[in-house]
Structures are given as C-alpha cells and as structure tokens.
Amino acid sequence: MSKRATFRAKLAQKPLTAIIGAHNPLGARLAEEAGFDGIWASGFELSAAMGVPDASIVTMTQHLDMTRFMDAAIGIPVVADIDTGFGNATNVIHATRQYEAAGVAALVIEDKTFPKDTSLLAGGRQELVRVAEFEGKIAAAVATRRDPDLLVIARTEALIAGLGQEEALMRARAYEKAGADAILIHSKRKTPDEIVAFVEAWDGTIPLVLVPTAYPDMTEERIRALGKVKLVIYGNHGVRAITQALTDTFRRIRADGGVLGVEGAIAPTERVFAVQGVAEMKAQEERYLR
C-alpha cells in the first residue's frame, strides 16, 4: 500500500497512532528511526527554524518544499500542518492539489483567521472564522482531493480562543458534516481536563486528534483509555530539543574557548554520516561509478 493508504488504515485499525513534529529531513529520519508512525510537518517548527514567528509568515511554497523533502526522505507518512489553508477556500483548493502531489498522507486545516498567531502564545490573537466559512474550506479540500486516502482533518481552536465546550462541539459537528475525516481539538490549559471533557462529550462518528503540548502528563495510555482518539501529535518537541541542545553546546564552546568539553556530549561525525545515508551512497558508487 502507499504511505497514504497505510496511514488511513492505521488510524482505522490501531488503538492510537503517534506522530511527531519535524522541520527537515534530518529530523524526519531520526523520528522514523525512533519508531514514530509518521511526521507532523509543523508550521511552528519550520517558522522557528527560519527564525520568524509562527504567524503565517512562512509562505505556502516554503512549507510545501520542506514537506516534500521530508516525505521523499522517509518511509513513514507525513501529515501537513497547513494552518488556515493559506487564505480562503480558493487558496485551500490550490494547497490541497499541491500537497497531495507532494505525497502527504493528511492535511490539517484550522479555523482561525488569516494571518494567525500560534496557538500557545500568551496574549496571542486567537480569532476564528465563521463556521460557514470554515465548512466551505473543509468541503473544498474534500472535493479537490483526487486520492480518497488523503485525509482532511479539521482543527478547531475554539478552546484555544476561550469560547468554551459548546462552541467547540458545535464547530466540530459542523466540520464533520462538511466532510472532515477527523477533528483535531486543541487546548492551552496546563491540565487535560478541558480536553477530556470534550472527548467525553463528543458524539460524532469521526475520530479525534490530540496535541498534548500544554498538558504533557496526558500519556498515550491515558489517551487510549478515552476511546475516541485515534491520533496523537507531539507538535514541537523536536525544535525545542534542538534549541536547548544548540544553546548548551554553543555556550560551552564559547566559554571553554574550544570544543574539547563538548566532544563527548554530541553525536560523532559517523552518526551524522549514517543519518545522511553515506553508506548507501558509497555502495552505489562501488556498483555504478566506472
């Protein structure tokens, strides 16, 4: 089966599928090596990697190119975080065509206004579009996809915006009727109570998706016990780990006036060669260079 069909089958058959954020092929390969089911082509991670806020500054072309590079580098599926769809329903149609051609297994579109602020930003602009407008975006993506295995996941930010459970449930039900294959429900609370309440109240027929960034004590065991959640996304842990590791390493080198002090704490060059696929390249050279 294609990666896309495999991913759809996993969501249907596994109790819980787990994917993690990445912003380049190196991170995607390391995630695959670690045993994750797929990659979250994270808008937040790519924005951070490019040194700009996650506020619809990264263009569709920039995000799409990196998503394509990651998908080509790994054997596990990629879920594309396309934020608000880069505009209105017309933009969503264009984005759906482009990301499907790039090979992604799923698109996640959120119901915020464009341009957006990242969800966990204190004091950020968390304004949502009208329900009917977002229904149109979801319907446009569903109608545009050529491969029925391409998942269209609707993400509601109603809890992020502080609009409460009833608003979140109303929006999720509307998005299911518009054709969404799953609902991503997001929260910035430090405990999972708000999310658990939503899951327990969810009466739709499509599965739910969680992103336990703000409430890290929500383990996969606890998520599976809820029964309605089929996908968990670890959204930004890769770029946060890289940020800390680079900060510590660079400061140590500067403080020591040399690299001896960090040599034992960082990956050897041979490890990087392995992730790059150098052994495969040398085998190809042996076979084909004449």
- Residue 242's identity, in one-letter code, is I
Q: What are the Cα distances from residue 210, in Å, to 168, 192, 214, 244?
A: 14, 10, 11, 25
Query: What is the spatial distance between Cα 17 and Cα 12, in angstroms, rounded to a whole number?
Result: 10
Residue 273, C-beta contacts closer than 8 angstroms, at least 6 positions apart? 279
Per annotation, catalytic residue among 37, 54, 83, 111: 54
The CA distance from 127 to 58, in Å, is 19
Which residue, 165, 53, 144, 166, is CA-closest to 99?
144
Integer angstrom CA distances of residue 150 from 53, 125, 182: 29, 30, 12
Is 181 labeled as catalytic in the residue annotation?
Answer: no
Q: Distance of CA 4 to CAs 9, 102, 103, 223, Å? A: 9, 11, 8, 24
Active site residues: 54
